[in-house]
């Protein structure tokens, strides 16, 4: 039995679908007001609880072998990064240990290296530059401390490149809105690494099933591309001809503030030797990702309407 914390989020929804297709039985923790469409469609048992709710988490943890933690406020929100990513995480780890769960997989991000890093490797030091990045880096430190004190659950970290795919409101929806308008305005940015959420789901699933030592972390991606290559790929696949312009002095980005900074930072990694140990082989390249986005958009054309 799996427990997904953050199951109603962008990557969480794809993990729900991935586990369902693997024949896995799952429960999902959600907060009041969350959209439960994907959980309902895949038969996931929903349990309303908060990471600060020790009793609610105990109830949710009953019969659980694997915990997938994807809970984190959005970077542009004011929803309490530190409390969720530190106090909430520790509470979840404690409850998982008390329930004797076997495995705990935590989703982190390449952004812990900071936006000045450019090309990153596992040996590089974290240099978080804002409160969101600091809270994610602190979460990893707390997990490492926990792994030294307790052998169960076995904890692993997936440090993913920027997630991009269907239902992504930070990159994909703004791209689609600009594509429909016939003009894409891009911040200055170079080659960067992206992860399709289905590949993130694969990495998390294989991490849960594997035998890697507790406290192990894995850097993962699906493919590399420039923002323009990604936008052109989506536009071509949905059959639109658009103009591409760079963000200038008198223009502002159509992307959320944090997403615009991600594009400018262009964080990237190479293929990792640890992928073989994990059994991770990315299924999505640029072309397949653009096709997946286009297929979703054809079913949900309203996403390009103005907010």
Q: What is the mean pLDDT of each run of 10 residues along the chain (307 residues)?
A: 88 90 81 60 71 83 93 73 81 93 96 92 92 92 91 93 94 91 84 97 95 92 95 93 73 78 92 94 98 92 65
Mutual angle of helices 227-237 and 172-181, in 10-degree steps: 60
- pLDDT at position 39 is 64
Q: How far is CA 145 from the centre of its chain?
A: 23
- pLDDT at position 306 is 47
b (16+ CB within 10 A) / e for 264-280: bbbbbbeebeebeebeb
- pLDDT at position 79 is 61
pTM summary value: 0.93
- pLDDT at position 14 is 92
Q: Which two tokens stand for residue 124?
A: 């590089």
| CA distances to 14, 16, 23, 48 from 40, in Å | 13, 10, 16, 14
Q: Report the alpha-carbon distance of residue 14 to residue 19 in Å, rounded.
A: 9
- pLDDT at position 299 is 87
- pLDDT at position 29 is 76
| CA distances to 74, 79, 82, 120, 141 from 130, in Å | 13, 14, 11, 18, 17
Q: Report the alpha-carbon distance of residue 17 to residue 15 in Å, rounded.
A: 5
- pLDDT at position 43 is 62
Residue 293's Cβ-count burial label (10 Å; 0-12, 13-18, 19+) is buried
Residue 296's Cβ-count burial label (10 Å; 0-12, 13-18, 19+) is middle
């Amino acid at each position: 039995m799996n427990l997904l914390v953050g199951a109603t989020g962008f990557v969480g929804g794809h993990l729900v679908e991935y586990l369902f297709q693997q024949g896995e039985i799952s429960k999902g923790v959600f907060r009041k007001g969350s959209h439960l469409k994907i959980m309902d469609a895949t038969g996931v048992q929903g349990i309303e609880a908060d990471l600060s709710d020790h009793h609610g988490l105990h109830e949710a943890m009953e019969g659980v072998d694997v915990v997938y933690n994807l809970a984190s406020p959005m970077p542009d929100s004011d929803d309490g990064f530190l409390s969720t990513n530190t106090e909430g995480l520790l509470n979840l780890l404690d409850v998982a240990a008390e329930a004797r769960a076997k495995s705990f997989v935590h989703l982190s991000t390449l952004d812990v290296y900071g936006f000045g890093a450019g090309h990153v490797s596992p040996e590089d030091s974290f240099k978080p530059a804002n409160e969101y990045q600091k809270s994610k880096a602190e979460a990893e430190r707390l997990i490492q401390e926990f792994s030294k004190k307790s052998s169960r659950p076995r904890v692993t970290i997936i440090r993913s490149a920027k997630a991009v795919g269907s239902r992504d409101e930070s990159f994909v929806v703004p791209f689609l809105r600009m594509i429909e308008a016939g003009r894409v305005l891009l911040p200055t940015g170079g080659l960067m690494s992206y992860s399709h959420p289905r590949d993130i789901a694969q990495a998390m699933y294989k991490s849960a099933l594997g035998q890697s030592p507790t406290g192990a972390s894995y850097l993962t991606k699906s493919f590399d591309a420039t923002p323009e290559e990604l936008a052109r790929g989506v536009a071509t696949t949905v059959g639109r001809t658009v103009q591409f312009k760079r963000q200038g002095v008198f223009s502002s980005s159509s992307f959320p503030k944090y997403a615009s900074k991600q594009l400018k930072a262009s964080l990237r990694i190479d293929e990792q030797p640890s992928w073989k140990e994990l059994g991770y082989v990315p299924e999505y390249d640029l072309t397949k990702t653009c096709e997946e986005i286009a297929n979703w958009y054809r079913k949900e054309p309203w996403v390009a309407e103005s907010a």
